[in-house]
Every structure is written in C-alpha cells, then in structure tokens.
Amino acid sequence: MKKTITTFILIIMCLTPISLSYDTTSSYIWSTDMETSPVSSSITSNTNSNNSISTNETSNNISTSNTVETNSQIENNNSLNLESGAAVLIEQSTGQVLYSHNAHEQLRPASVTKVMSILLIMEQIDSGNLSYTDTVSCSENARSMGGSQIWLDPRETLTVDEMLKAICVVSANDCVVAMAEHIAGSEEAFVQMMNDKAKKLGMNDTTFKNCHGIDEDGHVTSAYDIALMSRELLTKHPSITKYTTIWMDTLRDGKSQLVNTNKLIKTYRGITGLKTGSTSLALYNLSASATRDDLSLIAVIMKAPSTKVRFAEAQKLLDYGFNKFSFKSFGNGGDVIQTVSVNKGVKNHVEAILENSAGTLIEKGKENQVTQTVEINDNIEAPIKKGDVIGKVVFSLDGSELSSTNLVASCDVDKITLFTMAKKIVYSWVDLLRS
C-alpha cells in the first residue's frame, strides 16, 4: 500500500506545475502602526542579481548618517557672539556637531567633571554590580572635600539613590568621593577608571586628576569632550534624568533641602539635565541637555564670565538647534516595508522589515524633499533565517544619502524538500477536491 501511495505522489509531482516564487513587483508599504506617512511619494525600487547586498553599518537603535549639511563658517566664527570661552552644540543620537566655538580648547571643567563620575556609577548599577538600595558610608577623606556638599558624617550611611540625588542636584563633592571609594576602593583608583573611560570615548582633550572637579593643575577637558561624555550618559543610561531633572527635593527625612544648581530645569521647556560647574579659576561651566519633538540636543558652555551668561548662552545654543534642525523619523525597527518572493522555500514570500529604527537629522523645511529608495534582491533563495539581510532602504536629499538601514527577513523560511513538496501537493489536491 505504501509503495502505491508513493508512486501516486510521484506521478502527481511530474504532472503538476509548481511555482516557487511570487511576482517581484509587490508594492512598497509602511506598516499600519506608523504614525506618519513617508516624507516623499518619490520611491524607487532597485533589484540586484545576488543574495549578497552591500550595506552601510547602522547603530543598534537609530540608523543615522553624520553627513547633515551645516554651515562650516557658523562653526568657526562664533556667529552667535558668545561671551563664553568655549562652547559646542551636538545632536544627541548621532553626535553630529551643530555649532562649535573653541570646542577643543583645554579648560578646567569644575564640577562638570561629575558627568564622568555619574556615568561610571550608572554603569555599575546597570551592570548589576551596584544597587540603588545599597548603603554607602563616608570616609574622613570624603567628609573633608569642601566646596559643594551635604556635610556627610562618617557615622552615617546613605543609599546609592540618595548619593546620586545629592550629586546630580546639588553637586555634592563629599558624596561623589564616597561613591568613588565605594566602587573602586579609593578615589585614585576611581580616577583611573575615569581616564580609561575617557580614552575609550575618544576624549582626547581630557585628563582627570580627581572625581569632583575642584581645581587641580592638569585637570582639564574641552567643551567637545564634555559633550561626548554627556551623550554617553544620556544615551546609554537615560534613567539618570530622573535625578538630573529634579528641581527641589530633600534628604535625611526632610532635614536636608536640595535645590538644583541648574536653573534651566525650572525655566527651559524640554530640559533633561545635566550638570553645572564653577570655580574661581574655571569660571562658569554647564552641560545642558533638552529634548523637543524627538530631537535631543546637548549644549556645553565653558568659561562663561558669570552664571547668568552661562545659562543664557546655553539656552541660546539650544534655541539655535531647535529652530534650525529637526530629527526626521522614517520608521521603527520591525516596520514592514515590502513583501518579497522566495525561491525554493516552503513559503513563497517573506516580509522585509526595518532592522533598526531609521531617522536622520535634517535642516527644517527640507523634510518633505527626502526620497526613499528600496533595494531588494530579486533572487532570494531558502533557507532564510529570521533577521537575515535581504535588502536595504536608503533615504536621500538632493542626491546625497542621509541615512540607510537594512531590511531583514521577518521570519524563517525553510528550504523545500521532496517530502515538503509532496505534502504541499497533496494538500493542494485535497483543497481542490473540497472546492
């Protein structure tokens, strides 16, 4: 009996025409969960003859390009007439420099140093080596720091949560030293960690001598390097903003009042932080971050002549960025772009989806001039694994590429075999007889 059935299936296979692919002219679509339509109706679909597609590398979260057009003269001639010694404005997700004034001049950072200290603390927390509820004691060394402080007592302990609050809100030197000693065993060992991290981030203008920012010969950085470490903190550890956006709070059961040293927290719409710093030698410094309409900016001011100028010029930089640029999102990771044919697979097609969220920084007014090009291989063969690259989408402006992201398979497609082919034919005949 088995021999008869096998012979019957083979005869059907020989007589039945089998199509292993769909038409490749399927339409370009956005998934229905996108809030906005594509920025241009000009769409080009290109095909390649090979499975291998050359694509640009993209970040894990946002596919971006650092080719945004900016006026190079604006970056070099201090067109905003800033009084501060140095300044820089960057877009947070890409690191794109939007405005620069003496950005690589080595200057004293004062308490903006603590951005790096906070970054290392957050790395310890997010890696599981430290908990917000862990208690931290105060050494005599930490107690003796002076400057901005909450007057830690060696007989008391505070939680990591309380320490972070004091560091971010009132720039407590005693607390940051206590945390450094808790994490690394000594302030010196923690400072080595800071310098190692600075080197890893490409902070070539920076040498740290302490973790708090009190003036010390050789303790220097630049506006650009401050922007780099600020970006690392905000992008890798966004939960820090629950501390850096506090305006007023208390510690020690309400006995210690905290008021943020960053006055923009109270006055600037969309502010997310970040850190002030001032000494008699450094003058007035600030790393200010803000987000509006999906555009996140970081403005750094160094060596401002007064605290009033520091905040006013940081605001001027942020206003400049928000008025001139926007962040255009083209789609989210997982959005369906196109249905493509698959040869020799148990399925005849697979959905091509965005590997990552796609977006780019663009000058305002040019959003609707962006075109999108979809490149799909027309000879894709099974087996295919979920996440395999099967194409890419390129977003361009005036012929120049702004951003690109891979298109990947939404699911596995196994290769068809004699058994699966016979099974498919039998089911097709059954369906035909039922109809």
What's the CA gap between 30 and 336, in Å, rounded?
A: 6
Asked about 111 being catalytic, the answer comes back as yes
Q: What is the DSSP letter of 1?
A: -
Whether residue 65 lies in the annotated active site: no
Q: Of residues 65, 84, 100, 111, which has the active-site annotation? A: 111
Question: In what helix (H) or strand (E) does residue 15 lie, and over which residues does it extend?
Answer: helix 2-15
Label the pairing between strands 62-63 and 86-91: unpaired
Q: Which residues pair with 62 in a beta bridge?
A: 357
- Helix, coil or strand: residue 45: strand
Q: Are 392 and 426 in contact (CB under 8 A)?
A: no
Q: Which ranges of 214-344 would DSSP assign to H, the alpha helix?
A: 223-236, 241-244, 264-267, 307-324
d(C-alpha 136, C-alpha 432), whole Å: 75
**Which residue among 93, 100, 114, 148 is the active-site one?**
114
Q: Which listed residue (65, 148, 171, 396) is catalytic?
A: 171
Q: Among 353, 263, 371, which residue's Cα sits nearest to residue 308?
A: 263
Contact call for residues 301 and 226 (beta carbons, < 8 A): no
- Spell out where 314-367 has E strands: 325-331, 336-341, 349-354, 357-363
Active site annotation includes 171 = yes
Q: Which residues are catalytic?
A: 111, 114, 171
